[in-house]
Amino acid sequence: MNSMKETYAKKIKEEALRLGFSACGISKAEYLADEEPKLSGWLKENRNGKMSYMENHFDMRLDPRLLVPGAKSVVSLLYNYHNPDPIFGSDQLKISSYAYGEDYHKVIKEKLFELFQFIQDEIGEVGGRVFVDSAPVLEKAWAQKSGLGWLGKNGNIIHKKAGSYFFLSELIIDLDLAVDGKVTDHCGSCTACIDACPTSAIYEPHKVDGSKCISYLTIELKDEIPTEFKGKTENWIFGCDVCMDVCPWNRFAKKHTEPRFEPNPYLTQMSRQDWQDITEEIFTKLFKNAAVQRTKYNGLKRNIDFILK
């Protein structure tokens, strides 16, 4: 029986790599008892800011069997998006490198459905669901349990050989598979990310105050950006890469191999004045299939004006 679990796990990992995922790990679908006090404490301290959805489906976040009845395994995957050559200069307005190209939700979900189809073709009738940052799944906890990396002090998963420029995704399935173990933490005494955070959002190692994070302020927050952050957002108008860019482990990061993540050529030509004058028509042209659509035209304009006015 164990040999079948191992055979199936090996097949799934090989296919994941063939589809372009950088790494694949597996853990048992079970209640995340260790995560309950962490999540509960973070929410009680209002570190989620206006992200009230983080308070919803608390039990589902901790138990994947409530999302997928009969779930036995969580297959966690990393998909590289690293763009080592920034397309914006330090004095230009900037968007996070993960949003340079096509929306990752769409790209990765297509790959996950291919992997799920492979499992059904090769192994038989397997039930489950695919997830890409789109449901109450504690992705980082599962990535850790599946041996894909450790939780860095900036709250991101770090892979020892490849850094942290990855999207996380999961397949939660009712197939029993051989599981992987956790890896050890290798951040040591380094505080590069904490020291570099422009808004002091990393309030202690491994804990990020969502309400202060530039990614939250420029994407999740729908109200006006609080004036206390004026002059602190370092020209970021969508997301922020600072804590990743300074992480020593990202010296091992390699450029992605996904053509759909290549930047829209129009983006590289945007000057400060172009951003200031952006119209809804230009916004649509620049970000037609991109993650930046999430903030909508008015949201991006708010972010631009916060810096330039």
Q: Are the beta carbons of 243 and 154 closer than 8 angstroms?
A: yes
Q: Rounded CA gap, 250 and 96, in Å?
A: 16
Annotated catalytic residues are 133
C-beta atoms surrounding 273 within 10 Å: 9
The radius of gyration computed from the CA coordinates of the chain, to the nearest angstrom, equals 20
Q: Rounded CA gap, 260 and 280, in Å?
A: 23
Q: Tokens 């304009």 belong to which residue?
A: 301
In the structure encoding, which two tokens stand for residue 168, read together? Answer: 């996380």
